[in-house]
Amino acid sequence: MSAGSGSWRGRRVLVTGHTGFKGGWLCHWLRWLGAEVHGLALDPPTEPNLFSVARVGEALAADVRADIRDADAVLRAMRAAAPEVVFHLAAQPLVREGYRDPLGTLATNVIGTANVLEAARQTPSLRAIVVVATDKVYENQEIAAPFRETDPLGAHDPYSASKAAAEIVAASYRLSFFSKPGDARIASARSGNVIGGGDWAKDRLLPDCFAAFAAGQPARLRYPNAVRPWQHVLEPLAGYIELAERLLDDTATGVDRAWNFGPDAEGDVSVSTLAKLAAEIWGPPASVVVEPQQDQPHEAGLLRLDSTLARTALDWTPRWYLRTAVAKTVAWQKAWMSGADMSAETLKQIESYEREMLA
Ligand SMILES: NC(=O)c1ccc[n+]([C@@H]2O[C@H](COP(=O)([O-])OP(=O)(O)OC[C@H]3O[C@@H](n4cnc5c(N)ncnc54)[C@H](O)[C@@H]3O)[C@@H](O)[C@H]2O)c1
């Protein structure tokens, strides 16, 4: 498969969360494929941020700044964009922030998703909606088997609860309002822990490591033994694009459902393994120390995804294994530190990923 094997040229697309990390990469990629990309989000969540650094605005036909908790604002943005495809990424995406602000997290992630779907009901141009979920939506008993799409949803912390609830909302809208032939089709996409250039979010592993490495300090790890499915940001984005193409294809059946887009088993490594790999690729004097375990809020110890369904039914497959994913992330970060043109660097990585999809 190649993202863009379906035609994106001139297709009107709305990306919510375009000022964020994954949304910024997605906008550049969709524009590169020829789509007319409209964005809806709050201002960039960090300083610095991918949106400014990689000049994501240049990829956009429209850049609407609005809160998805505001139903009227979402409807106005949807009407103005008149999209055929919506990629819904806007969210409060951090587990620890979910502990700090559970109600805000639930409002943005659950009511915000409902507002997007409600506006979608009133948008006749719409044919496909990809709701971006997470690996954390599964009820996690910390058993070794990776999660399949049919496993029960559940949550320990407010962020995971909000994303699981958003998926249930999306499934209910699919069954209640988007079930007739000709209606827009809704799918949800659960990815792993994403790494890549341009992520400066708080409490995320590689951004924290890079800040320490650049300051000549050792990176200090919380939860060093927690195992996560790590993958480069372009891996799940390829899945979202492929998924949208299938949703647009009236002959493709059984696509409007939940999909996992996780790495191969070699990407399921501990926090300390990933941080040490990042330090090795960064080069001296980068180093890592494990903090003595303190009283930290609960985070899952073991989380893995089974992506067999996407591999077999969507022909999606991971391309950049862990070392490559980390090396691309370090290369992007160092290019930024040296003052390079980060729009060009971002597009260079997208083109190189596309070449591997065609290989
Ligand atoms: N980064 C990961 O490892 C990861 C893993 C799995 C799933 N996800 C999901 O991917 C999506 C994007 O995550 P990210 O890492 O790019 O996050 P990010 O924080 O970089 O971006 C979040 C985006 O959402 C927007 N936003 C937040 N609250 C909003 C609100 N109330 N109204 C309008 N816009 C709002 C922000 O402005 C920003 O554009 C989220 O849905 C997240 O849950 C991320």
- 178-215 per-position pLDDT tens digit: 999 999 999 999 998 999 999 999 889 999 999 999 99
171 Cα: distance to centroid of ligand 1 (angstroms):
20
Residue 81 Cβ inside 6 Å of ligand 1? The answer reads no
Residue 229 Cβ inside 6 Å of ligand 1? The answer reads no
| CA-closest candidate to residue 203, choices 217, 228, 216, 222 | 222
Model confidence at 359: pLDDT above 90: no
Provide the strand spans (E) within 25-105. Answer: 36-41, 60-65, 85-88
* Atom nearest to 93 CA in ligand 1: 43
Q: Whose CA is nearest to atom 30 of ligand 1?
A: 67
| CA-closest candidate to residue 130, choices 7, 267, 263, 23 | 23
Residue 298's pLDDT band, with cuts at 50, 70 and 90, is confident
Q: What is the CATH number of domain 12-195+229-264+303-320?
A: 3.40.50.720
Residue 134 Cβ inside 6 Å of ligand 1? The answer reads yes
Say how far apart CA 359 and CA 357 lie, in whole Å.
Answer: 6
Residue 255 Cβ inside 6 Å of ligand 1? The answer reads no
17 Cα: distance to centroid of ligand 1 (angstroms):
6
Model confidence at 123: pLDDT above 60: yes
Query: With contact defined as beta carbons under 8 Å apart, do 329 and 337 qualify?
Result: no
Model confidence at 77: pLDDT above 50: yes
Model confidence at 55: pLDDT above 60: yes
- What confidence score (pLDDT) does residue 248 get? 97
Residue with tokens 């190649």: 2
- What confidence score (pLDDT) does residue 267 get? 84
23 Cα: distance to centroid of ligand 1 (angstroms):
8
Residue 109 Cβ inside 6 Å of ligand 1? The answer reads no
pLDDT digits (tens, 9 = 90+) for 320-356: 999 999 999 999 999 999 999 999 999 999 999 999 9
Residue 17 Cβ inside 6 Å of ligand 1? The answer reads yes
- What confidence score (pLDDT) does residue 64 get? 98
21 Cα: distance to centroid of ligand 1 (angstroms):
7
Tokens at 343, concatenated: 């729009």
109 Cα: distance to centroid of ligand 1 (angstroms):
9
Say how far apart CA 193 and CA 271 lie, in whole Å.
Answer: 11
* Atom nearest to 44 CA in ligand 1: 37
Query: With contact defined as beta carbons under 8 Å apart, do 6 and 218 qualify?
Result: no
- The answer to whether the bond into 48 is cis (omega within 30° of 0) is yes
- What confidence score (pLDDT) does residue 186 get? 98
| Percent of the chain residues topping a pLDDT of 70 | 96
| Best residue among 19, 69, 89 to mutate for probing ligand 1, ranked by most atoms within 8 Å of CB | 89
- What confidence score (pLDDT) does residue 293 get? 67
94 Cα: distance to centroid of ligand 1 (angstroms):
8
Kind of pairing between the strands at 185-191 and 258-261: parallel
Q: Whose CA is nearest to atom 34 of ligand 1?
A: 41
Q: Whose CA is nearest to atom 5 of ligand 1?
A: 193
Residue 286 Cβ inside 6 Å of ligand 1? The answer reads no
Model confidence at 145: pLDDT above 80: yes
Residue 272 Cβ inside 6 Å of ligand 1? The answer reads no
Q: Whose CA is nearest to atom 41 of ligand 1?
A: 89
Residue with tokens 């954390």: 136
Q: Give the 3-state secondary structure of residue 195.
A: strand
Residue 1's pLDDT band, with cuts at 50, 70 and 90, is very low
- What confidence score (pLDDT) does residue 175 get? 97
Q: Taking the CB of residue 103, how many other CB atoms lie within 10 A of it?
A: 9
Kind of pairing between the strands at 258-261 and 60-65: unpaired
Residue 303's pLDDT band, with cuts at 50, 70 and 90, is confident
DSSP 163-192: HHHHHHHHHHHHHHHS-STTS-EEEEEEE-
Give the DSSP H or E segment for 14: strand 12-16
| Best residue among 16, 42, 109, 169 to mutate for probing ligand 1, ranked by most atoms within 8 Å of CB | 42
Model confidence at 143: pLDDT above 90: no
pLDDT digits (tens, 9 = 90+) for 276-289: 999 999 999 999 99
Most distant CA pair in the chain, distance:
60
- What confidence score (pLDDT) does residue 5 get? 58
Please provide the average confidence, as pLDDT, over all residues in the chain: 94
Kind of pairing between the strands at 128-132 and 185-191: parallel
67 Cα: distance to centroid of ligand 1 (angstroms):
13
